[in-house]
Chains A and B, each alone.
Chain A
């Protein structure tokens, strides 16, 4: 009675293809959102860690130490249960009894974003430190304000130096979104589990999931490498 594998992963009435692709799409969206949030946090974190004030540096170090030191899965749990608990309390206070939970997509993006931000902090910080002093001085000498200097000189050069590290961080963010399956988000891994259970073909579906992760990762890595190569042109070989 076993249906051929090709049909199972296809797009027909018995096929899981469409659901798997949608789930892969959700994985990609979650990864992009997490990475984008992480970029903002990373830029802020790097600014903190490079600040002249000792207490600001302390805040930055605290952030990176905590979020690089706790397993990602634990961060996800803490945010999911902590967030839901806080929301439930708040709703009780407002007069709504019962249990409330935050949308798992948002919780997941925030959790993964925070972890990724901690790693991106280090990427931006070390990239900034590689910047030549003369590049900044040339900007100052022609009268650039702090903002223009940041936007026109520091940001593009830092980004260029940070790019290889950011590529690696992106790859791990893409994979870490699999953790969102444990808080009920039907992304690629969760959808594969559902399909495995329904068809009793775990190897097939987990295999397909693995393939989809690889394809997504490789395509984006290719994009990053292209940008890197284009930028490398200006810095000489």
Chain B
């Protein structure tokens, strides 16, 4: 197959992440009803949707924090292997999943920094204890990452001593120091006070400008419109519509999407 030229100009042969017919069921509740999504290198994909549309669940399926009930998932060119235990699908190869996770960065809504480690220790933890990299070399890189998110002067603070915005920026540093091939953001600004949202979005915008592959579940419409290369709108566990933000936000492409967006702009 010929390599294709993606929208951002990066050369990519196969998608970084490819989900096909992904479903997730909790008992009688169908949260995902078959989601297809290919994320190519260099793409910045904003995943939008009302609460309950399954967007967070979908993102958490991509690094197997949730095990999809059905469908196939290919991460970094590897098909994730599952096995059945009774009626429930499980991860078949924990090593495979751990290896893939170490190359897929995740930023959580509630930051989830390890509360017993300082900021610098949080950032160094993965490279040293998961990737087995040299501590001195990692330290330098961790400090660079912290400098980048503007937190070098908070390196020796504990998470509880930081504001939400600072914690989230530290969490971003923790993710990028792993040199991930793709970054997942699960509503990274939803738990923040409004005046702290900007500093986090600014860091994310910088990452996008670097050409990093990013999937972002968000309610920040301006960010989705101005920064992402593609917008995916989920409704009731399926992709309702997707496309370039300039096309979608122009309006008239999908009535439900337009209503969803207008609801947000009315709010704020």
Contact = CB atoms under 8 A, between A and B. Distances in A.
A138 B114 contact: yes
A158 to B, nearest CB: 10
B86 to A, nearest CB: 13
A10 interface: no
Interface of B: 63, 65, 94-95, 98-106, 108, 110-118, 125-126, 129-131, 158-161, 174-175, 178
Contact of B115 (A140, A145, A148, A234): A234
B112 A152 contact: no
16 contacts: A134-B112, A137-B65, A137-B112, A138-B114, A140-B65, A141-B108, A142-B130, A142-B178, A143-B99, A144-B126, A148-B130, A153-B114, A157-B114, A233-B158, A234-B118, A235-B160
A120 B116 CA distance: 22
B130 A134 contact: no
A231 B159 CA distance: 13
Interface string A124-144: 000000001011011111111
A89 interface: no
Interface centre among A137, A142, A146, A234 (most CB of B within 10 A): A142
Contact of B114 (A135, A140, A143, A233): A135
Given A143-B126, A152-B125, A157-B116, A236 B65 contact: no
Contact of A143 (B102, B117, B158): B102
Given A146-B94, A148-B130, A234 B116 contact: yes
Contacts of A143: 98-103, 126, 130-131, 178
Nearest to A145: B98
Interface of A: 132, 134-135, 137-146, 148, 152-153, 156-157, 160, 231, 233-236
B101 A160 contact: no
A142 B101 contact: yes
A236 B130 contact: no
Contacts of A160: 116
Nearest to B97: A143
A161 to B, nearest CB: 10
A27 to B, nearest CB: 33
B160 A144 contact: no
Nearest to B160: A236
B101 A140 contact: yes
B129 A152 contact: yes
Contacts of A146: 94
Given A134-B108, A235-B160, A141 B115 contact: no
A126 B174 CA distance: 29
Q: A141, A148, A231, A234: which has the most chain B beta carbons within 10 Å?
A: A141
Contacts of B102: 142-143
Given A134-B110, A143-B126, A234-B115, 19 more contacts: A132-B112, A134-B111, A135-B112, A135-B115, A137-B65, A141-B101, A141-B104, A142-B101, A142-B106, A143-B100, A143-B178, A144-B98, A144-B129, A144-B130, A146-B94, A148-B129, A157-B114, A234-B117, A234-B158
